[in-house]
A = this chain, B = another copy of it.
Amino acid sequence: MSTVTTPGTGAHAVVPEAVRRARAYLLRVVEPPSWEVVRFVEQYGPVEAAELIRRGEVPRGVGEKVHARRGYDHVDADLDAARSVGARLLVPEDADWPTWTFGAFEAADHPDLAPPLALWVRGPGSLAALAERAVAVVGSRAASGYGTHAAVELGSALGAAGVTVVSGAAFGIDAAAHRGALAAGGPTLAVLACGVDRPYPVAHTSLLERIAASALVVSEYPPGAVPARHRFLVRNRLLAAIGSGCVVVEAGARSGSQRTASDAGALGRPVMAVPGPITSAMSVGSHELIRHGAELVGRPDHVLETVGRLGIDLAVEPSRPRRPTDDLTPAALAVHGALPARAAWSVERLTEESGQVADVVRSALTELERRGLAEFHHGLWQRPGPTRRRDA
């Protein structure tokens, strides 16, 4: 197996438990996607943002998103349920959060395309590493024999080339693409529209087990969450974002796959489509995409060429979206995550909150201050205020 695994459990130890619990709470009470909540969490930090939401002390835009569920107290239950299936909560403060990949959400600046606040992940894979060379392969549930064959072949060729096959574990094209990758011993990642502890569809229980055993099953919905209809559309933006490109193998007219392709395009990902017979209703969506600018891919090589070019292009791309926290060490990220926005704490308190030793906290604070991400007043540390941050 060429699956990329996490760089040791040490990467997680640096994120304070309070941060992870706060984000677990947020995933339970906020129905994604929500730029309002993403911005609110950026402003206050996850711990304080979660507390403010719990207390209802939030601006109206955020309040509307969390009113129905803010009283929920499922954090322990969710963490336990995840642990029981070998899953964990991946947060932006983790070293294997795909910060760079999800930078596409900031760059797209689209109201429906907000990044996830955290992700429940199940499996040994590192999301950041798996997303480095990844292609979303999507298509119809009611795939034809032709489409299924094409998806298996494509999944297998991508897998053999070490490219992560990202799909949704649904019937039809999704399953065929995952299976092709698994057959080639390649990495494959499933993004679900329900909890990572739910085998959905049930017929794919063993497929999901195999993906979870080798790479990663991912969801922004909490354990036990059911796959409500609208969640598939919301989930599709994650497929689109995690893939460096998106291939539609078969799609009917006005299909969910076309929506995924549209999200991929909005996120700056190249959209590709596999043609088929013009007599097949299952290829109408693929053909429409090609007519509107998607690249026709007739061989797996075509996909690899496009993804390969991407890799090269991105390496020299100067307009890469930057976050102020990019390139911070895991320890500095942990301290940054612990810093309060509306309070000021001592180094001792930050040592407790961040889980880092005092020397590491002091060194991290110096670096954060240099970047304008922390301020020192009267012997206490805090985040710069909202006004100040906007100027920074």
* CB pair B302 A296 closer than 8 Å: no
Known contacts A146-B277, A275-B287, A276-B278, then 4 further A-B pairs from the complex at CB < 8 Å, ordered by chain A residue: A149-B279, A150-B279, A291-B296, A296-B296
Please, which residues of chain B bring their CB within 8 A of the CB of A298? 278, 283-284, 287-288, 291
In the bound complex, CA of A276 to CA of B277 (Å): 4
In the bound complex, CA of A279 to CA of B278 (Å): 14
- What is the interface of chain A, defined by CB distance below 8 A to chain B? 146, 149-150, 274-279, 283-284, 287-288, 290-291, 295-296, 298-299, 302
Please, which residues of chain B bring their CB within 8 A of the CB of A278? 150, 274-276, 298-299
9 A-B pairs closest in CB distance:
A275-B275, A287-B298, A290-B296, A278-B298, A291-B296, A277-B277, A287-B296, A146-B277, A276-B277
Q: In angstroms, how far is the closest chain B Cβ from the Cβ of A282?
A: 12
Please, which residues of chain B bring their CB within 8 A of the CB of A275? 275-278, 283, 287, 290, 296
Please, which residues of chain B bring their CB within 8 A of the CB of A146? 277, 279
Please, which residues of chain B bring their CB within 8 A of the CB of A277? 146, 275-277
Please, which residues of chain B bring their CB within 8 A of the CB of A287? 275, 296, 298
Partner of A291, one of B276, B279, B284, B302: B302
Q: Which residue of B lies closest to A288 (CB)?
A: B298
In the bound complex, CA of A291 to CA of B296 (Å): 6
In the bound complex, CA of A146 to CA of B299 (Å): 20
Please, which residues of chain B bring their CB within 8 A of the CB of A149? 279
8 CB < 8 A contacts A-B? A150-B279, A275-B276, A276-B276, A277-B277, A278-B298, A288-B298, A291-B295, A296-B296
With most chain B CB atoms within 10 A of its CB, the pick from A283, A288, A290, A296 is: A296
Q: Which residue of B lies closest to A154 (CB)?
A: B278
In the bound complex, CA of A283 to CA of B291 (Å): 17
